[in-house]
Amino acid sequence: MKKSLAIAAAAVTALGLLAGCSGSDTEEKKKLSVAALEGGYGKDMYTQVIAAYKAKHPDLDVQLQISKSIEDEISPNMKAGKFPDVVVLGQGRKAGLTETLIKDKALEDLTPVLATVKDRLTEGIVGNLNTDPYGDGKTFLMPMYYAPTGLFYNKGLFTKNGWTVPETWDQMWTLAEDAKAKGVALFTYPTAGYLDSYFFSLLAGVGGEPFYTDVMTYKQDVWKTPQAKQALDITTKLLSYAAPTTVGYANEQDFTKNQQSILDNKALFMPNGTWIVGEMKDAPRAEGFEWGLTPLPAVTAGTKRYLTTSVESVWIPSAAKNKDAAKDFVAFLYSDEAAKIFAASNAIQPVKGIAASVPAENAGFFKLYEDPNVAALVGGFASTAPVEGVDIKAVLFDTANSIISGDKTEDQWQTALQDASEKLRQAGK
């Protein structure tokens, strides 16, 4: 999950773990440091996979550092020149560590690793901006887990009230009024950062994948287009139906309270990923609760709807000391043995056939891909040279808090997006 609370004790541990990166060449070859985000899938799967790898490489000391705030713990050492050898951390986090290394071109080329496992991977999961951030055909981030994201809801509440899950935005607005009459908010989000999957699907929905690509690659004046205005119109209206507690809880400490509002039948929909099932497994819930997932509604009935596919990443810093061992370890992560361990924790890798082992509670989520009117969407904003003071993700996602609070208007939002996009377009030339 997305937390940035620094933990001093873990940071001290990090110093000890990463100290293995210094010393003699012999010592370096026998040590491998792995840093991973402890997300909704938990940490046990990492310890099991590392144990399995150690069994095949008894002469290698694989040291794991895992935390919900992994960026805070490894960044100080990285700034001091002490890098982990392998990092499991995707894009889209508030700290933006992965994005920073992409912009700085500080990741190792993993194209040779991809070549050894590509035949095992799900079609279409590589060769996009998520894995090849520079668009040059070279892979710098390997896809680690994938999961459909969309609007999560309580099936039981819909059954109880005789509601139908909306397939168009017009149906969504009708449902909003019906729910409001029963004291239920239409929408909430854990933190504004979770609007990434929402916005990506929405942009493709209003303008098709070509328009989505235009936004992601900062096409000139893309935020002045009718499609961009339509996306912001829809979002502004959706936010007007947000649960009143959304903004107050939309932070790294309290985000689960917004998630809890779905389980308590206080809100109908929230953007999230399949990890939510495991993350909230011990949370109390309303009688008859059952997780449901739906793509965003279509702008026009019968048109394509999109599921933004969340892809976590594994990468190797170009400054890592043990690159050969790191590459071998990354390749092992796609073995049958490792994939089964990950799948047992609901962490589904883009490995052919592994989705068949998804537990029943999650199986329905992956079946959405079988709908001919639903398309998977993979990718994200293109990387450019850093532009001081410009963070288009923050402008696009975090501004939602200010729209709800009334601190900003939709016009101000659109203007800020146009300004940020144009600066990044210039930087990408």
Identify whether residues 233 and 180 lie together within a single domain: yes
Asked whether residue 77 is assigned to any structural domain, the reply reads yes
Asked whether residue 375 is assigned to any structural domain, the reply reads no
Say yes or no to pLDDT of 15 above 70: no
**Per-residue pLDDT at 22:** 43
Asked whether residue 178 is assigned to any structural domain, the reply reads yes
Identify whether residues 283 and 139 lie together within a single domain: no
Q: Mean pLDDT, to the nearest integer, of 93-117?
A: 93
Identify whether residues 86 and 174 lie together within a single domain: no
**Strands 142-154 and 291-294, how do they pair?**
antiparallel
3-state secondary structure (DSSP) of residue 209: helix
Residue 275 CA to residue 279 CA, distance in Å, equals 6
Identify whether residues 304 and 190 lie together within a single domain: yes
Asked whether residue 318 is assigned to any structural domain, the reply reads yes
Identify whether residues 152 and 129 lie together within a single domain: no
Could you tell me the CATH number of the domain that includes residue 235? 3.40.190.10
Asked whether residue 97 is assigned to any structural domain, the reply reads yes
Q: Mean pLDDT, to the nearest integer, of 290-314?
A: 94
Neighbours of 363 (CB within 10 A): 12
Q: Mean pLDDT, to the nearest integer, of 395-419?
A: 98
Identify whether residues 78 and 131 lie together within a single domain: yes
Identify whether residues 133 and 215 lie together within a single domain: no
Instruction: Residue 45: give the domain boundaries.
Output: 31-146+310-360
- The whole-angstrom distance between residue 236's C-alpha and the CA centroid of its chain comes to 23
**Per-residue pLDDT at 123:** 76
Q: pLDDT for 144-154, tens place per residue?
A: 998 899 999 99
Asked whether residue 63 is assigned to any structural domain, the reply reads yes
Write down the pTM of the prediction.
Answer: 0.75
**Per-residue pLDDT at 20:** 43
**Per-residue pLDDT at 428:** 81
DSSP 8-state class, residue 289: -
User: Residue 426's beta-bridge partner residues?
Assistant: none
What are the strands, taking DSSP E only, across 164-209? 185-187
Q: What residue has token string 């308590």?
A: 264
Identify whether residues 314 and 401 lie together within a single domain: no
DSSP 230-266: HHHHHHHHHHTTB-TTHHHH-STTTHHHHHHHHHTTS
Identify whether residues 111 and 87 lie together within a single domain: yes
DSSP 8-state class, residue 395: I
Q: How confident is the model at residue 355 (pLDDT cuts 50, 70, 90)?
A: confident
Identify whether residues 267 and 157 lie together within a single domain: yes
Angle made by CA atoms 196, 137, 215, in degrees to the nearest 5: 30
User: Residue 314's beta-bridge partner residues?
Assistant: 88, 142
**Per-residue pLDDT at 19:** 40
Identify whether residues 82 and 198 lie together within a single domain: no
**What total number of domains does the chain contain?**
2
**Per-residue pLDDT at 245:** 97
Q: pLDDT for 239-295, tens place per residue?
A: 999 999 999 999 989 999 999 999 999 999 999 998 899 899 999 999 999 999 999
